[in-house]
Amino acid sequence: MAETEPGQDPIAEDARIRSLEERLKQAEAVEKVRTGTTQTGTDDNYRLGNRVLAELIGGLAGGALIGWVLDRFIGTSPWLLLAFLFMGIVVAFRNIIRISTKRPEK
């Protein structure tokens, strides 16, 4: 085995490897532009899924909470809870349909 001086890494100091890494990064960037694949598409879809889930949970929870509170104050035990829960579901699905039919920005 060839001995090297302590603290020196012969691979990291090779200019050919650095040049190859730079050319690979440039080629990957050019290929991404050429094919139109970027990381933002996945992030946008992930955000859209989270927004749909939040609308659904928010509609259900909001309607149930408002109905429960009004039932406690007015004394109409399950009826306002059921009515507002149903209204929350309708509003949530309306918002989800509106989100899903919106055209994507390009």
What's the chain's average pLDDT? 84
Q: Give residue-wise pLDDT tens across range 81-95.
A: 999 999 999 999 999
- 34 and 58 within one domain: no
What the block records as the tokens of 9 is: 């890494």
Do 50 and 100 lie in one domain? The reply is yes
- Coil, strand or helix: which one is 43? helix
Cβ(71)–Cβ(78) below 8 Å: yes
* Residue 103 and residue 60 in one domain: yes
Q: Is residue 16 part of a domain?
A: yes
pLDDT at 69 (0 to 100): 94
* Same domain as 60, residue 106: yes
Task: Give residue 95's pLDDT.
Answer: 94
Query: Could you list the residue range(s) of the whole structural domain that residue 94 is in?
Result: 40-106
Q: Which residues contact 16 (CB under 8 A, 6 or more apart)?
A: none
Stretches where the chain sits below pLDDT 50 are 1
Tell me, what's the pLDDT at 39? 58
Q: Largest Cα–Cα distance of the chain, in whole Å?
A: 89
Same domain, 17 and 52: no
pLDDT of residue 13: 63
Q: For residues 57 and 98, state if they share a domain.
A: yes
Whole-number pLDDT of residue 88: 95
Number of domains in the chain: 2
